[in-house]
A and B are shown apart, each in its own frame.
Chain A
Amino acid sequence: MRRNILGRAVPVALAVLAAMGAASCSGSDDVLFPRGLVAAFVADEPIQDGSVGLLAGSPPFVTLRVRVAARGIDDFFGAGFEISYDPDVLRLVRWDDADSFLRDGGAEADFIVDAVSQPGRVIVGASRRQDAGHTVPGVNVVGTRTLLTLVFKPKKASKASPVQFVTSPPGTCEARDSSLPPPGRAIPVLWKGGNVSVTSS
């Protein structure tokens, strides 16, 4: 069953989308997202087993999709993490959890994304939802699977603007398994980021 918890990013995303919708009349979109900019994401390195990394979700385009993907992790029940980016270069406009592996087997899952509290930082919670009988297992992630996808818009040109998981202080990014007692055990995970380049088309 698909279920999202709509966090603080939702009104922001809606506001941005509304502004975009009105742009053809007012031209205000040119201010938020100058025409002619395209963005591309390049991961720092190929994602390995035991990692959660950021991957390009689309070819260079005016809308940049960045996949948050996991690879080779057993009993993945949920994760909380933060991603930093340059708010002068990018703006998070929405996210997409439709293809998240957390819903494997029809499990309910919750996603909360906050891009408002701290400029330049996306705070994410993504977790399967346990039930009263504790029958919901974690997901054995085989290969590279999508946890959720973040959708950015470029705001200005930049050659290599980092988009990275925040790893300090330790524990800021953390994945957990489904073991008892709650909240399960922390899973050792490597968190891998990348860079965004924004150029004029």
Chain B
Amino acid sequence: MQVASRLLAVVVTAVLSFASYPALAAQWYVAASGNDLSGDGSFGKPFRTVSRALVSAVDGDEVRVLPGTYRECFDTVGRAIAIVADAITRGGKPSDTVIDGAGACGGRFCDASDRLGCLAPSDCVGACVVVRGKGTCSNDSSVSCSVDTCDTTAMTCRAHPSVACSADSDCRNLDCDFGSCVPIRVCAETPDTWCGDDSDCPDGVTCTELVPGPVARLGSGSRVAGLALRHGRASGVLAYGSVAIETSEVTENEGPGGAGGIEVVSLASPLDGGLCLEVPAISCATASDCRVCSGDGRTPCASDADCADVGGTCGPETPCLPGRRVSISDTVVRDNGGDGARGGGGIRVAASAEAGSAMHVELLGNTVEDNSASSATSSGGGILVEAEGSGISRVRVDGGTVARNRAASAGGGMALHLSTEAGADASASVAGVTFDRNSATEAGRSSRGGGLHVLARGAGVERVEVSRCGVRGNETGGDGGGISAELDPSGPVGSSIALADNRVGGNTALGGGGGMALAVDASIAGTEARIEASGNEVSGNSASGPGGGGGLLVRAVAAGNAAGSASARLSENSIRGNFAAHAGGGVRLGATAESSPGPAAPASASIVFDHNLVASNGPAGPKEGLDTYATGVLAELSATGSASASAELDFLTVSANRSAKGTAGIEFAVSTAYDESGTEAGTASAALRNSIVSDNVGVGVEAIESPGPGAISLTVAHNAVHGNVRQAGPLDWGDEIGDRTGTSGNVSIDPGLGSGFLPGSCSASLDLADPAAPFADEPQPNGGRANLGFTGGTASAASTLADPSGDRKVDGRDLVWLDSAFGSVASDPARYLRSADFNLDGRVDGEDLAYLAASFGVVCP
């Protein structure tokens, strides 16, 4: 009664203070030295607990927590309140302000202890560890113990005469036996009062089991900053709606049936307040509220004058849509465990947007380490983000580290799953994140994505981009040791996954795709799906299972009744030093298209693999020397019915790969089949163009065309195939493909590759590509024709030697040659010297002279 009246007095005080300052949010102070009864929440008379401050706080208020340790759980559900550590605003760290849910947020404890938490009976029986004469319990170092012995005369322990014994071992750890592991029970209305039964509580008050809960249960609009949140029993943080978690530590929490560290469930609806679609940190009423300064892209403005401080001009209006925003930034999420069916050992964000609203999820600069998602079906050992609904979804994961997390099924480090409904517009980006030594192995071959798993399978338009990430040392029991990306849309058009400029190294797949496994499936009527990978460095990965593809495994599938179009394009990747125990040490590509009889449009599966370097890949594992083949690139095509499958390999450098047998460079395996009606057969086309296949240990290029009823097209043109050797002796072209040297522009020349497998200006592979291939991006002088190999036709291509005399050296003679024709134009053939017009602009002039000067002194061997 006394407590209640005091509480009432405080509430009245608080309300009066709001009345005095109606326009200002109130600030409520909490200190370890405070008092929930006598305090008033002011700085001078702070409360003792956050929970008490929240009794007084209303929407928009801030609870300011002073340094200390607070054993409690708090709840802001239904209110928008900020809980901020005072220390973090003064340069401190989250561990200065600890909210510790041990014993306060439910769970179990050893009933003969002073609140020793436990999960299993064995946790309550520790060992007495004696060091330098001092003993402490292994399960509670705060408890002293001594090793007792058995008095075999009395048959009782000497220091514990009530305990019977027959040997010393019966008496060894008695001080560290804390009884049974039982659920925590508390007296009703006083949750910090533990009890065994009703007799431990005041008269009329019952002793009930404390329901496990999170340390922080956050309502929409709430914010947590600078706190260390530990020992939650239903996640560390359980949040709903729009929430922000900043610069905090969420550690050692558990989430039975859910996420371990942080679980956020958020549904955006048209009834929500407005957020700027492009800058969701800005609340808005109309699009005019969403103008921002171009200088920083986030400062609201109404005119250029508002941008004086940040620079730039005031940009145009952008959409304002009702929605919600989940933001977790600069937060450490460590040592948490969840066993929810979906997963998210460290963080799980389940986001959904109704039509007409937008859902924003931002995970920025977080450190997510040593978490686990242990359910057999769980994904995202560190992070699981799920986006659903029929509205707009925007997911952004930027920066930070995801390390040493474990998931049973998919995405040891992180899983990003999009499964939206028709009409949805979902996009997600993962950029600049380091995925390090995560694992997804427990589900065996069905697990995937040791570092990152991306799955887009909804009916809406879903676009995912993964860029600038470091993915290293991850492991999976299935496909995609580093990254597994699956695009399997159930909607019609426009969904895509792109992976760009990632560094993927040292990952392991016990299935296929040691570095990355990419799968695009358009097996539903009318779907078009595209997956792209460009600018990635994939090195030192291994695939030990039958899936193959030590560096990269790609599958494009369009199969089924009236299937759609599946395409994959892989450009400008470097795939080096990977290993596979089965097929495709570097890369394994597969395009499968099947169409059933009927009037629907035929299915198609296509892969474009261009401007890639595939080098120094090889066999590994127990099958080395037995089954490993196609250690550079293996391209497999299969087409059934009216469907078509194609693979275009263009501008590749495939070099220094090593095979124990068979092909070490490029192997095609092509087949066609009739559909069920036996009337239509598939079409398969493969092409290898403008490529260098050199110095591989094994056959250079081989094609296996399985006899079939359909049309097979194999184009091999404008390639340099040279110096490939298998144990039986030199063999550039496999038996099945025949020697193509001298036909269709194919040559057998030493490309003279230098460091990084780059051709120098003396390389014989310059200016030998298909004359119709684009060359304008090559730096001048480019000879008016693209080079062969992975840099051909690009800005990275080697320049053509400025050697008008044609003697393979650029010296003084060449200067005389050029100067003798200086000023001449192509329309005057008597004076024009084409070999001195390096840039082929029809004029011998100063630019040509500059090119010559730039390479003066070069002597080709």
Residues of A within 8 A of B (CB): 5-8, 77-82, 110, 112, 114, 116-118, 123-134, 171-172, 174-176, 178, 180-184
Contacts and interface: CB of A to CB of B under 8 A. Distances in A.
B856 interface: yes
Nearest to A127: B819
Interface in B832-861: 832-833, 836, 849, 852-853, 856-859
A184 B824 CA distance: 14
Interface stretch (B125-133, B585-593, B805-813): B805-813
A112 B824 contact: no
A127 B856 contact: no
A121 to B, nearest CB: 9
Contacts of A118: 857, 859
A164 to B, nearest CB: 16
A83 B804 CA distance: 21
Interface in B311-338: none
A145 B845 CA distance: 28
Given A5-B853, A114-B857, A80 B813 contact: yes
Contacts of A182: 817, 820-821, 824, 831-833, 836
B814 interface: yes
B822 interface: yes
A110 B849 contact: yes
B818 to A, nearest CB: 8
Given A110-B815, A118-B859, A181-B830, A7 B853 contact: yes
Interface of B: 804-805, 807, 811-825, 830-833, 836, 849, 852-853, 856-859
A114 B833 CA distance: 24
B849 to A, nearest CB: 7
B859 A128 contact: no
A123 B804 CA distance: 16
Contact of A183 (B804, B830, B856, B858): B804
B812 A81 contact: yes
Nearest to A178: B820
Contacts of B858: 117
Nearest to B804: A183
A9 B824 CA distance: 29
B857 A184 contact: no
Contact of B811 (A82, A131, A132, A134): A82
Contacts of A130: 819-824, 831
A181 B856 CA distance: 24
B789 to A, nearest CB: 25
A48 to B, nearest CB: 22
A6 B852 CA distance: 11
B820 A78 contact: yes
A189 to B, nearest CB: 13
B823 A131 contact: yes
A90 B462 CA distance: 69
A112 B856 contact: yes
A125 B811 contact: yes
B831 A112 contact: no
Contacts of B822: 129-131
B820 A184 contact: yes
Contacts of A183: 804-805, 816-817, 820-821, 833
A127 B812 CA distance: 9
Nearest to B821: A182
Contacts of A80: 811-816
A117 B857 contact: yes
A171 B831 contact: no
Decide if the interface of chain A is mainly helix, strand, loop or mixed. loop
Most chain A CB atoms below 10 A, which of B813, B814, B856: B813
Given A80-B815, A123-B812, A117 B859 contact: yes
A112 B817 CA distance: 13
Nearest to B833: A182
B819 A110 contact: yes
A63 to B, nearest CB: 24
A81 B836 CA distance: 19
Contacts of A129: 819, 822-823
B852 to A, nearest CB: 8
What 6 A-B pairs are tightest by C-beta distance, nearest first? A80-B812, A125-B815, A125-B812, A117-B857, A80-B813, A182-B821
A8 to B, nearest CB: 6
A191 to B, nearest CB: 12
Contacts of A81: 812
Most chain B CB atoms below 10 A, which of A82, A134, A171: A134
A132 B816 contact: no
Nearest to A6: B853
B26 to A, nearest CB: 69
B849 A174 contact: no
Given A5-B849, A180-B831, A183-B804, A125 B856 contact: yes
Contacts of B833: 181-183
B819 A123 contact: no
14 contacts: A5-B815, A80-B814, A110-B849, A112-B852, A117-B859, A125-B812, A127-B820, A130-B820, A130-B823, A130-B824, A133-B823, A182-B817, A183-B820, A183-B833
Most chain B CB atoms below 10 A, which of A117, A125, A175: A125
A123 B811 contact: yes
A30 to B, nearest CB: 30
A132 B821 contact: no
Contacts of A77: 816, 819-820
B831 A181 contact: yes
B848 to A, nearest CB: 12
Contacts of B804: 183
B150 to A, nearest CB: 85
Contacts of B849: 5, 110
Most chain B CB atoms below 10 A, which of A117, A118, A128, A183: A183
A133 B836 CA distance: 17
A178 B820 CA distance: 7
A125 B859 CA distance: 15
B812 A134 contact: no
Contact of A123 (B805, B816, B825, B857): B857
Given A7-B853, A130-B820, A171 B813 contact: yes
A171 B812 contact: no
Given A80-B815, A123-B812, A176 B820 contact: yes
B816 A78 contact: yes
A79 B815 CA distance: 8
Contacts of B832: 182
A8 B822 CA distance: 22
Contacts of B805: 183
A172 B55 CA distance: 95
Nearest to A131: B823
A77 B814 CA distance: 13
